[in-house]
Amino acid sequence: MRVVTWTSTNAPTGNEACARILLPAMSPKARKKGKEEYHPVVFFAATAAEAESKARHWWAAEQARAEARRVQAEKAAERIRARKAA
């Protein structure tokens, strides 16, 4: 995961800097070539550092939510297995 930032001179005040997250490509063929894809979410802030910080915090929160969903699915699968065994 990489964060790309840029600034705009004609953006509204407080939104001059933008940040986007670059991720490895989803398709195996493109991933093999080392291609990257932009995540659709764009982060705006007054400075590039703030925009990058917003992007990194958002990504960390997304990763934590995905991990929580994975753990919950594992618990549900375990309950189903226990029910079938009984």
Average pLDDT over residues 20-36: 85
Residue 22's alpha-carbon distances to 9, 41, 58, in angstroms, are 23, 10, 13
| pLDDT the model gives residue 27 | 81
Positive or negative CA dihedral for 49, 52, 57, 58? positive
Instruction: Domain count for the chain, please give it.
Output: 1
Q: Which two three-digit tokens encode residue 19?
A: 């940040």
Residue 78's alpha-carbon distances to 32, 65, 68, in angstroms, are 35, 20, 15
Per-position DSSP letters for 26-63, written without gaps between them: SSHHHHHTT-EEEEEEEEEESSHHHHHHHHHHHHHHHH
Q: Is the pLDDT of residue 86 over 80?
A: no
Q: Per-residue pLDDT tens for 39-83?
A: 899 999 999 999 999 999 999 999 999 999 999 999 999 999 999
| pLDDT the model gives residue 24 | 86
Whole-structure pTM value: 0.77
Domain of 80 in residue numbering reads as 2-85
